[in-house]
């Protein structure tokens, strides 16, 4: 069924939002069940992120070679099953294994969602607008997961609640079986994807995502801590953290509506413009002398960051001719893996600076990262020409030794 195909892409990013939000949402109860401290629980999250970073480099080119359906089936099945394993885990070792395999499932649904959508929506001619629409649903998945878990945990308990979340991730298997996917090229080799790093679009798209995912992960992890330092209660800080995510989702929706009718040539400058706004917003958080100013800075940061990820993905696809050349999976795999590295290193840096001083002063590092994002995204815009699909194929063939 052709009408089902775009729904699979939305389901993929929605499922990714759920998966990435689960560990944070069940942290207190799962840590109690496993009898682990914060450092050990942090390693569970690191396991998920590291497994994701490795998996996406394999899954991207694999999807280009074998098609969307196998990747989608593995993704939704693995995501649901691993959450069921996590729901019943009584030992730390089993929880680590579940998180490692969950990273594979997460990157399958992530890859199919973020590459299928730009391929089939708007006829494949407006990947930035398509990506913004898709990632509205990532934000919704990440936002509603802690809400659902918070509502159900007290009534049903940990195991049943997480099992329900796993069932939600599993359900789109039916959609994958019903959908009609574009055919894969079938001759793209995993080793050949290394040649894509020689292209400016993949290099600077990846470096831009390094900065962006580093910023998003840092804000998600430290905004509530920052607001508590602004003399807000725990409940108030968590409420405004939800406000941060609402602003991020809302700005993606606005970008999707705005970029739809806009010529794709005007999409690339949107990224450095938003990065400039992010610099201003995060700096406002640094200098804020009142809770109100701090809250405004946090909300404005969420609004500025919202469209950056999907627009980078869309512009990179356009600049690299990824869709036309049939290598969207491989291109996405590289830029997302580089982005995940930023999501690992930047929050670690801010955490260390915060431990040595204050969270507000540590956000100066986030200002610097946002400023670097301006530079990389400006190079992606002005310094990287639109690629010819034939030239991309030549680069890939050389890397494959053909």
pLDDT at 107: 96
| Same domain? 144 vs 222 | no
Would you say residue 313 lies in a domain?
yes
pLDDT at 89: 92
Distance (Å, whole) CA 375 – CA 207: 10
Domain end (from 149, 175, 201): 175
- What's the number of domains the chain is made of? 2
Would you say residue 3 lies in a domain?
yes
* Owning domain of residue 126: 1-175
Whole-number percent of the chain with pLDDT over 70:
94
Would you say residue 73 lies in a domain?
yes
| Same domain? 320 vs 292 | yes
Q: Tell me the per-residue pLDDT of 367-399, one tens digit each, with 9 for 90 and over.
A: 999 999 999 999 999 999 887 666 555 555 544
Q: How many other C-beta atoms are found inside a 10 Å radius of the C-beta of residue 154?
A: 8
pLDDT at 339: 94
| Same domain? 2 vs 140 | yes
CATH number, domain of 43, equals 1.20.1250.20
- State the pLDDT confidence band at 234, using cuts at 50, 70 and 90: confident
pLDDT at 323: 82
| Same domain? 113 vs 222 | no
| Same domain? 266 vs 122 | no
Would you say residue 185 lies in a domain?
no
| Same domain? 285 vs 382 | yes
Q: Tell me the per-residue pLDDT of 241-251, one tens digit each, with 9 for 90 and over.
A: 888 889 999 99
| Same domain? 156 vs 239 | no
Whole-structure pTM value: 0.85
C-alpha torsion angle, residues 328, 334, 339, 342 (rounded to 10) = 180
DSSP string over 79-134: HHHHHHHHHH--SHHHHHHHHHHHHHHHHHHHHHHHHHHHHHGGGGT-HHHHHHHH
Q: Of 222, 217, 161, 144, whose CA–CA distance to 29 is shortest?
A: 161
The number of residues making up the chain comes to 402
Domain end (from 123, 145, 175): 175
Q: Tell me the per-residue pLDDT of 58-107, one tens digit each, with 9 for 90 and over.
A: 999 899 889 999 999 999 999 999 999 999 999 999 999 999 999 999 99
Q: Of 156, 210, 172, 158, whose CA–CA distance to 339 is shortest?
A: 210
Structure tokens at 100: 């490692």
| Same domain? 209 vs 329 | yes
Cβ–Cβ < 8 Å for 56, 109: no
CA distance to 142, 210, 360, per residue, from 343 (Å): 16, 7, 19
Would you say residue 182 lies in a domain?
no
CA angle 47, 350, 333 (to 5 degrees): 45
| Same domain? 218 vs 72 | no
Average pLDDT, the chain: 88
């Amino acid at each position: 069924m052709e009408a089902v195909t775009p729904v699979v892409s939305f389901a993929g990013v929605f499922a990714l939002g759920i998966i990435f939000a689960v560990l944070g949402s069940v942290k207190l109860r799962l840590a109690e069940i496993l009898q682990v401290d914060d450092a050990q629980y942090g390693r569970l999250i690191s396991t998920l992120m590291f497994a994701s970073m490795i998996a996406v480099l394999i899954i991207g080119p694999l999807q280009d070679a074998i098609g969307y359906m196998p990747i989608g089936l593995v993704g939704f099945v693995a995501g649901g099953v691993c959450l069921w394993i996590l729901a019943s885990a009584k030992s730390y070792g089993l929880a680590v294994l579940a998180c490692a395999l969950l990273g594979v499932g997460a990157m399958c649904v992530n890859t199919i969602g973020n590459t299928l959508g730009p391929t089939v929506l708007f006829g494949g001619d407006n990947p930035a607008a398509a990506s913004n629409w898709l990632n509205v649903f990532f934000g919704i998945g990440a936002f509603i997961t802690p809400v659902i878990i918070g509502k159900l945990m007290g009534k049903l308990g940990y195991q049943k609640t997480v099992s329900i979340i796993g069932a939600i991730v599993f359900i789109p298997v039916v959609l994958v079986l019903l959908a009609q996917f574009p055919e894969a090229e079938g001759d793209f080799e995993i080793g050949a994807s290394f040649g894509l790093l020689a292209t400016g679009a993949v290099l600077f798209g990846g470096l831009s995502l390094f900065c962006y995912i580093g910023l998003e992960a840092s804000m998600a992890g430290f905004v509530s801590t920052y607001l508590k330092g602004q003399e807000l209660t725990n409940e108030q800080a968590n409420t405004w953290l939800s406000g941060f995510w609402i602003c991020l989702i809302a700005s993606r929706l606005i970008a999707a509506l705005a970029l739809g009718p806009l010529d794709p040539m005007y999409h690339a400058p949107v990224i450095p413009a938003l990065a400039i706004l992010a610099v201003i917003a995060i700096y406002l958080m640094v200098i804020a002398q009142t809770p109100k100013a701090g809250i405004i800075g946090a909300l404005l940061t969420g609004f500025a960051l919202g469209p950056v990820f999907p627009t980078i993905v869309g512009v990179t696809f356009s600049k690299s001719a990824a869709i036309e050349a049939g290598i969207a999976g491989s291109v996405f795999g590289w830029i997302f893996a580089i982005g995940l590295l930023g999501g690992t290193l930047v929050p670690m840096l801010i955490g260390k600076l915060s431990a040595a001083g204050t969270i507000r002063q540590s956000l100066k590092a986030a200002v610097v990262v946002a400023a670097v994002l301006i530079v990389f995204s400006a190079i992606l815009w002005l310094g990287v020409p639109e690629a010819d699909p034939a030239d991309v194929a030549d680069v890939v063939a050389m890397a494959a030794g053909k």
